[in-house]
């Protein structure tokens, strides 16, 4: 149960820690700012983890979306970017509309249906301009692990990305209405094709339409206990592998940090080795992987050819696709309430 709680609740614990750190350093921020609006008849409600109101070195509104990770990612996930674009886009679009509400830790309304400048003034006596064009609005995703944090941004408001978010919301809303009226079966609802790790922890994944069974003669195929034990053993081995990889990465980080600390204090700066018992270790800079920016390449080739279609045809002929391979995915079956 503790493992499950750590996975599902660590984000809430870390969010509280981030808020305490911001409060201790004198930052002005609104936790869980709620934006409620309607676009083309579709009700939209967004919750912004942290909205900072900064006055130095220049006035700025920063939206922080907090993400809890076991290990910090190298690059930001596309879904996180889209989510952030939707949040800052709504803040920018609804700035001077009575769409903003704030609740306390118990869920009671502190402010209801105010404009953003009205909210800032009532909470902090801060005067903000009537238009968001008169102040910088930025978005950040703060990825937080148990021992480190990493920020991605800033992201500016983008009308096109907001449109993507609103169209996605409209599709979800219309599908929900179609199911509610009985025009569409829940089993026929379109589901995302990718696998999300939190699916393993969902209480209701037992009959989720995403996990459509393989059927034979109209009945789902269910294998005997021998395969169940085999899957359980394989799952345990994969968990041990992930745990070992995490331990290895943590120990390597410790040794790298130790090497840098000691060599920086050494009288002679070198790339030498440090001994410990029957072992020695060092760090060395490794060149980054070379990649080709296809967008930039297309732009440069188009400048030379003055023909976008010919450029695309040339790039298509030069693209190489690797051999198709199979991926095995194992997911536990949970029953809600069990």
Distance in angstroms (rounded) separating the CA atoms of residues 307 and 34: 48
Q: State both tokens at 177.
A: 């209405």
Give the 3-state DSSP-derived string for 150-161, with helices as H, strands as E and coil as C: EEEEEECCCHHH
Residue 124 has pLDDT above 70, yes or no: yes
Average pLDDT for the chain: 88
Provide the 8-state DSSP code for 201. Answer: G
pLDDT digits (tens, 9 = 90+) for 165-195: 999 999 999 999 999 999 988 778 877 766 6
| Averaged pLDDT for residues 13-39 | 92
Q: What is the pLDDT, as a whole number, of residue 270?
A: 65
Residue 337 has pLDDT above 60, yes or no: no
pLDDT-derived band of residue 86, with 50, 70 and 90 as boundaries? very high
Q: What is the pLDDT, as a whole number, of residue 271?
A: 74
Distances (CA, A) of 280 to 260, 272, 273, 275: 14, 10, 6, 4
Nearest alpha-carbon partner for 252 in 292, 214, 282, 211: 282
pLDDT-derived band of residue 319, with 50, 70 and 90 as boundaries? confident
Pairing of strands 136-144, 60-68: parallel
- The pTM of the full predicted model, rounded to 2 decimals, is 0.67
Q: What is the pLDDT, as a whole number, of residue 278?
A: 94
* Stretch (H or E) spanning 77: none
pLDDT-derived band of residue 81, with 50, 70 and 90 as boundaries? very high
Q: Which domains does the chain have, with CATH numbers?
A: 2-173 (3.90.320), 191-266+331-335 (no CATH)
Q: State both tokens at 290.
A: 């070379």
Share of the chain above pLDDT 90, in %: 52
Q: State both tokens at 69.
A: 């990770």
E runs forming strands in the chain: 29-39, 42-54, 60-68, 100-103, 109-114, 136-144, 149-155, 215-216, 219-220, 274-276, 279-281
* Bridge partners, residue 210, by sequence: none
With a CB cutoff of 8 Å and minimum separation 6, the contacts of 221 are 213, 214, 215
More confident residue, 38 or 13: 38
Q: What is the pLDDT, as a whole number, of residue 120?
A: 94
Residue 231: how many other CB atoms lie within 10 Å:
14
Nearest alpha-carbon partner for 236 in 124, 332, 107: 332
Nearest alpha-carbon partner for 82 in 65, 106, 69, 104: 65
| Averaged pLDDT for residues 220-238 | 93
Distance in angstroms (rounded) separating the CA atoms of residues 99 and 89: 13
pLDDT-derived band of residue 65, with 50, 70 and 90 as boundaries? very high
Least confident range from 151-160, 196-205, 245-254: namely 196-205
Pairing of strands 279-281, 274-276: antiparallel
| Averaged pLDDT for residues 108-131 | 94
Q: What is the pLDDT, as a whole number, of residue 123?
A: 94
Q: State both tokens at 98.
A: 């009575």
Q: What is the pLDDT, as a whole number, of residue 315?
A: 87
Pairing of strands 109-114, 100-103: antiparallel
pLDDT-derived band of residue 331, with 50, 70 and 90 as boundaries? confident
């Amino acid at each position: 149960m503790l493992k499950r709680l750590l996975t599902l609740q660590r984000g809430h614990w870390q969010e509280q820690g981030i808020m305490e750190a911001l409060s201790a350093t004198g930052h002005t921020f609104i936790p869980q700012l709620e934006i409620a609006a309607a676009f083309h008849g579709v009700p939209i409600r967004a919750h912004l983890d942290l909205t900072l109101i900064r006055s130095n070195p220049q006035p700025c509104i920063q939206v922080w979306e907090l993400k809890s990770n076991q290990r910090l990612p190298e690059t930001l996930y596309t879904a996180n970017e889209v989510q952030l674009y939707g949040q800052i886009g709504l803040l920018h679009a609804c700035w001077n509309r009575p769409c903003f509400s704030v609740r306390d830790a118990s869920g009671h309304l502190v402010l209801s249906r105010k404009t953003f400048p009205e909210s800032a003034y009532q909470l902090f006596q801060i005067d903000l301009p009537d238009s968001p064009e008169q102040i910088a609005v930025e978005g950040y995703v703060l990825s937080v692990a148990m021992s480190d944090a990493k920020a991605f941004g800033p992201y500016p408001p983008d009308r096109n990305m907001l449109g993507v978010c609103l169209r996605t919301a409209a599709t979800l809303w219309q599908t929900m209405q179609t199911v509610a009226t009985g025009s569409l079966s829940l089993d026929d609802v379109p589901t995302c094709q990718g696998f999300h790790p939190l699916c393993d922890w969902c209480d209701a994944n037992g009959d989720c339409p995403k996990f459509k069974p393989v059927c034979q003669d109209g009945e789902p195929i269910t294998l005997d206990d021998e395969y169940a034990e085999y899957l359980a053993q394989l799952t345990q081995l994969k968990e041990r592998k992930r745990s070992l990889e995490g331990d290895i990465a943590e120990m390597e980080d410790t040794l790298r940090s130790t090497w840098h600390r000691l060599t920086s204090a050494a009288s002679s700066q070198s790339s030498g080795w440090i001994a410990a018992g029957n072992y020695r270790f060092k760090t060395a800079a490794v060149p980054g992987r070379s990649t080709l920016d296809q967008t930039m390449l297309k732009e440069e080739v188009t400048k030379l050819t003055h023909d976008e279609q010919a450029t695309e045809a040339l790039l298509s002929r030069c693209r190489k696709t690797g051999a198709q391979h199979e991926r095995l995915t194992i997911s536990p079956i949970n029953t809600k309430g069990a």
